[in-house]
Amino acid sequence: MLSGFISMLLIILFLILLIFGLIQCRNHSFTAGFYFFLILIMNKILSFFYSPYIAKYIDSLHESNTQPPLGMTIGELVSWFSLIPTIIELIAFAILIIGLYTLWKSKAQSSKSTS
């Protein structure tokens, strides 16, 4: 009971921090950071919605004794589904890194031109 409450509290706190970062990036016109936080927020929220549907889909495959798509086993299908949030996070971090690099590069060029 207590661990469930603490985990829910941490999820809410994490979402609040993501929303705070989103607002700060929007206020400072950092579009790469804005999209980074937006993708992470959407990933976190959507994981609550698509997890039950994936579980129902896998249960229905098991009950009807049907083969998963592309000739995979159910274990392989589960591992592919578990990779989806990680791939989305990887895309978000790639956007952030590219945005930080372009920001750093533009600031380095502007400091060279003022010297």
**Structural domain of residue 34, as residue ranges?**
9-109
Residue 34: pLDDT band (50, 70, 90) is very high
Is 2 part of a structural domain of the chain?
A: no
Is 93 part of a structural domain of the chain?
A: yes
Vertex 103 angle, CA 100 and 105, to 5°? 105
Is 81 part of a structural domain of the chain?
A: yes
Residue 7: what residue type?
A: S
- Section 88-98 average pLDDT: 97
Is 114 part of a structural domain of the chain?
A: no
- Section 5-18 average pLDDT: 93
Total structural domains in the chain? 1
Contact 15, 41 (CB under 8 A): yes
Contact 14, 45 (CB under 8 A): no
Among 81, 93, 83, 98, smallest CA distance to 39 is for 93
Distance from C-alpha of 14 to C-alpha of 60, rounded to nearest angstrom: 33
Is 55 part of a structural domain of the chain?
A: yes
What pLDDT sits at residue 115?
Answer: 64
Spacing of C-alpha 53 from chain mean position: 18
pLDDT mean across residues, the chain: 91
Is 15 part of a structural domain of the chain?
A: yes
Tokens of 44: 């976190």
Per DSSP, the three-state class of 1 is: coil
Is 60 part of a structural domain of the chain?
A: yes
Residue 108: pLDDT band (50, 70, 90) is confident
Cα Dmax for the chain = 72
Residue 2: pLDDT band (50, 70, 90) is confident
**Residue 110 pLDDT > 90:** no
Is 115 part of a structural domain of the chain?
A: no
